[in-house]
Amino acid sequence: MNNKTSPYAIELRDISKSFGAVQANKDICLQVPAGTIHGIIGENGAGKSTLMSIIYGFYEADTGDIEVGGELVNIRTSEDAIRFGIGMVHQHFMLVENFTVLENVILGAEGGAMLQGGLDAARTELKRLEQEYNLDVDVDAVVEELPVGLQQRVEILKALYRGAKILILDEPTGVLTPQEADHLFRILKSLKEQGVTVMIITHKLREIMALTDNVSVMRQGKMVAHRATAQTNKEELAELMVGKKVRLVVDKDEANPTNVALSAKNLSWFDEQGVKRLKDVSFELKAGEIVGIAGVSGNGQSELLNALSGITPLSEGEIHFNNEVITPKNSKNASQMRDLKMAHVPEDRHKMGLVTGFEAYEAAILGYHNSTAYNGKILLDRKAMLAECNERMEKWDVRPADPFLKTANFSGGNQQKIVIAREVEQNPDVLLIGQPTRGVDIGAIENIHEEIIKLRDAGKAILLVSVELDEIMALSDRILVMFDGAVVGEIDAKDADERTLGLMMANALNDDEKVGGQA
């Protein structure tokens, strides 16, 4: 038994973890002082989530030691982690959607073979937690009916109900408005005052500076730096994260928009359950400009892209495009929209943009597979497909430049390049792009941003959807903000800053104060 009282809530020594040939964590050392808020930052793929998953028992480290409160512990499953007082709020919530909040909280801590006792005990305890930390939520509500911000609270309550003294949050603000994020930070600070140690993973430097006491930087699976937050700044952290001087701005000229390429009038869309996901959306997109759609993920942007690209038919409204009027009665599917010269880089390249089991040269014609460029009378023209693929791989610097490699084996950035190349090279009049740099490394991001600007300057109309405000502000000429399925604000990029956009994203401006705007 170790009687040493350690100043650290949790200490990691030489933690390493590999998945097959990929080393996700290498010799990680970390010391988190008890009762502090500790940030872990790094780019996508740096290994942060893997490390937290090891602490939470989701994975087991290959080598290394973990000490909790000075005691060496063996964490093999989440059950172990919970026993040692570690709780986790995941990036993608681990909730049973058709259970109530109460049922979700007691899952795993039912307190006995019969449910009733556990439910009653939880009800009482949740009331207490609610008062202590300002975490109120209707415990009898069904989770899938709650807004995302409240669902996150359920995750936190779950962890606290199990007695977490160390709370880990993985990218918690990805689905929150700036105002909801502030509320979350207040809760975390209040937890810290009660002696809970908080570890927060994020790639958002603003959050680190605003919230944490200490920060550790990860890069490519290794821990590269530790700093006290008060003694560093965003630029230093950015450089440590990426390893070279980063540009936070994209070079571009003034836009020269000309005629209207696409015009959307009163678009509405109801989903399978009859919920209105798009509410009366209207806007114009001109050739030679980039219009960015800002908004917290889940506010109708995906539905808008699906409606415009022909993936889902309209419920109400019209789209005027290329001398055609598309209405619910006269709908066009994705392939017909392509024929009209609209291209679409989807938000999720794994589910939509590529077929991961296909080889690169086959994935490179997805959506255009019926075209005469790739087909003879009956057979596919493999020679033509390969020639084009090789050409494009060289032009867009796709690595490795192997048309026969399965798309699953390319890195995120290269996969994205394959998709973007495919859509852009069709020379469309309108290009829809969703989350162009999600899961893409910094070098490729710059590359992709450059190509988007080039397209704009060539006179194409581009609609950009992204949850990264940085990207929206850097690339767009005009910005539309979506909230709860409707466009709630419009602003010129040069007038936009984060605070204004954040308020618009939360629809916190009433009619008097609305910036730009809709009649």
333 makes contact with other proteins (CB under 8 A): yes
Q: How far apart are CA 493 and CA 291, in angstroms?
A: 9
d(C-alpha 180, C-alpha 433), whole Å: 27
User: Which position among 247, 382, 395, 454 is part of the footprint of other proteins (CB under 8 A)?
Assistant: 382
Which of residues 282 and 375 has its CB atom nearest to other proteins in the complex? 375
- Residue 374 found at the interface with other proteins (CB under 8 A): yes
In whole angstroms, the minimum distance from the beta carbon of 377 to other proteins comes to 10
Cβ neighbours around 230 below 10 Å, total: 10
Range 155-194, binding other proteins (CB under 8 A): 158
Q: Which two tokens stand for residue 263?
A: 């015009």
Give the CA angle between residues 204, 303, 152 to the nearest 5°: 45
DSSP strand pairing (71-73 vs 260-270): unpaired
Among 67, 103, 207, 289, binds other proteins (CB under 8 A): 103
Question: 238, 311, 340, 493: which one contacts other proteins (CB under 8 A)?
Answer: 311
What's the closest the beta carbon of residue 387 comes to other proteins, in angstroms? 17
How far does Cα 292 stand from its chain's mean position?
Answer: 16
Residues in binding contact with other proteins, number by CB under 8 A: 77
Binders in 283-302 for other proteins, by CB under 8 A: none
Q: CB of 77: closest distance to other proteins in angstroms?
A: 7
Peptide bond into 403 cis (omega under 30): no
User: In the set 3, 4, 5, 112, which binds other proteins (CB under 8 A)?
Assistant: 112
Q: What does residue 213 show for φ and ψ, rounded to 5 degrees?
A: -95, -40
Shortest Cβ distance from residue 125 to other proteins (Å)? 16
Q: What angle do CA 77, 83, 85 make, to 5 degrees?
A: 110
- Comparing CB distances to other proteins, the nearer of 88 and 486 is 88
- Which residues are within 8 A (CB) of 472 and not within 5 positions of it... i.e. 6 or more apart? 292, 293, 294, 464, 466, 479, 501
Interacting residues with other proteins between 4 and 63 (CB under 8 A): 19-22, 24, 49-50, 52-53, 56-59
Residue number, 20 or 513, with CB nearest to other proteins: 20
Our CB check for other proteins shows the closer of 96 and 230 to be 96
Of 114-122, 132-140, 242-250, 444-452, the segment contacting other proteins by CB under 8 A is 114-122
Q: Determine if 263 is a binding residue for other proteins (CB under 8 A).
A: no
Least distance CB 357 / other proteins (angstroms): 5
Contacts 24+ apart (CB under 8 A), 267-274: 267/304, 267/307, 267/314, 267/316, 267/317, 267/318, 267/319, 268/314, 268/315, 268/316, 268/317, 269/303, 269/307, 269/312, 269/314, 269/315, 269/316, 270/315, 271/303
CB nearer to other proteins: pick between 266 and 270: 270
Write each residue from 334 to 363 as x if it is in contact with other proteins (CB under 8 A), else as -, in one continuous string. xxxxx-----x-x-x--xxxxxxxx---x-
Q: What is the DSSP letter of 351?
A: I
- One character per residue 413-432, x = contact with other proteins (rule: CB under 8 A): --------------------
Compare residues 228 and 380 and give the one whose CB is closer to other proteins. Answer: 380
Query: Looking at 1, 249, 275, 378, which residue binds other proteins (CB under 8 A)?
Result: 378
The HSE-up count of residue 94 (CA atoms within 13 Å, CB side) is 17
Give yes or no for residue 380 binding other proteins (CB under 8 A).
yes
Closest distance of CB 149 from other proteins, Å: 19
Q: How far apart are CA 274 and CA 7, in angstroms?
A: 54
Residues numbered 73-102 forming contacts with other proteins, rule: CB under 8 A: 77-79, 81-82, 88, 90, 94-99
269 counts as binding other proteins under rule CB under 8 A: no
How far is Cα 477 from Cα 339, in angstroms, rounded to an integer?
Answer: 27
Q: Minimum Å distance from CB 266 to other proteins?
A: 24
Residue 422 near residue 365 (C-beta atoms within 8 A): yes
The values of phi and psi at residue 181, to 5°, are -65, -40
Residue 459: CB atoms within 10 Å: 16
